[in-house]
Amino acid sequence: MSILVDSNTQVIVQGITGRDGSFHAKAMLGDGTKIVGGVTPGKGGSEIEGIPVYNSVKEAQDAVRVDASVIFVPAKFASQAVREAADAGVPLIACITEGVPVLEMLANYYYVRERGVRLIGPNCPGLISPGKCKIGIMPLRIHEPGGIGVISRSGTLTYEVVYNLTTSGLGQSTCVGIGGDPIIGTGFIELLEMFEQDDDTTGVVLIGEIGGEDEEAAAEYIANNMTKPVVAFISGRSAPAGKRMGHAGAIISGGKGTAEAKVAAFGAAGVPVAEKPDEIPGLLKDRL
């Protein structure tokens, strides 16, 4: 099994006629994802790589079953795209776009939840269940089907960790890049709960970074609710206070969000924290 997506998931690409949208639509299609349509206003009736293009998400939803949408549009149009998909009732929305203003994202967070749909991102690489479905930009070639769930705030660190898992014989059930912005659609705790309930997930890797207190909250949740082994990695241990490191959400402010606090929280919850990504497979194997 897997969480969020499987081999039956039908996906549309918002912004499919743009440079990034067309490139990644072709890649997802080649990796086995069921891309059933794309959306670009004013381009309805055309095709990209044999994929029909619609003028709106509602038009696509009326023509085909849409289980998920992935958004590749410029930041100034991203909130509109998210809300359009939510209004059409698309169950899962993955927003790859970065640079969405924080106040817009705050409003988007409540907007999608009020409509009972799930948002992954923004500013994220998407998600993948190897051999079943890829939504976003994660490279399939480093993944392998298996029982390890991966949740990460960092796209590139996800790839490094997944590569080490795969080369160590630990395949993945689902890998989810939640995004590195201060406000995101779906966080650690919701995904930890899903992995805990997934019969075929045997262990979880959580990749966090400095900034915010989501990792501390996740550590508390793990201590009280998780029966499956969890291993963590925290990036940015050498980052100076007040300096943003890569992601908009990766900044230590007001004495909160330090790497030390996160490592200590996981330690108190009995979760081993790797100092380097290549230590993760060994820590997992000790606990599986």
Q: Which residues are catalytic?
A: 247
150 near 172, Cβ under 8 Å? yes
Q: Phi-psi region for residue 16, left (φ > 0), alpha (ψ -120 to 50) or beta?
A: alpha
Give the Cα separation of 252 and 266 in Å (integer).
18
Omega of the bond prior to 122 within 30 degrees of 0, cis? Answer: yes
Shortest CA distance to 141 belongs to which of 163, 172, 158, 170? 163
Give the Cα separation of 27 and 139 in Å (integer).
9
184 near 121, Cβ under 8 Å? yes
Q: List the structure tokens of 259.
A: 């790497």
Q: List the structure tokens of 86.
A: 């939510």
What residues have CB less than 8 Å from 243, skipping those under 6 apart?
251, 252
Task: Give the CA radius of gyration of the chain.
Answer: 18
Provide the 10 A C-beta neighbour count for residue 26: 17
Shortest CA distance to 278 belongs to which of 162, 171, 172, 176? 162
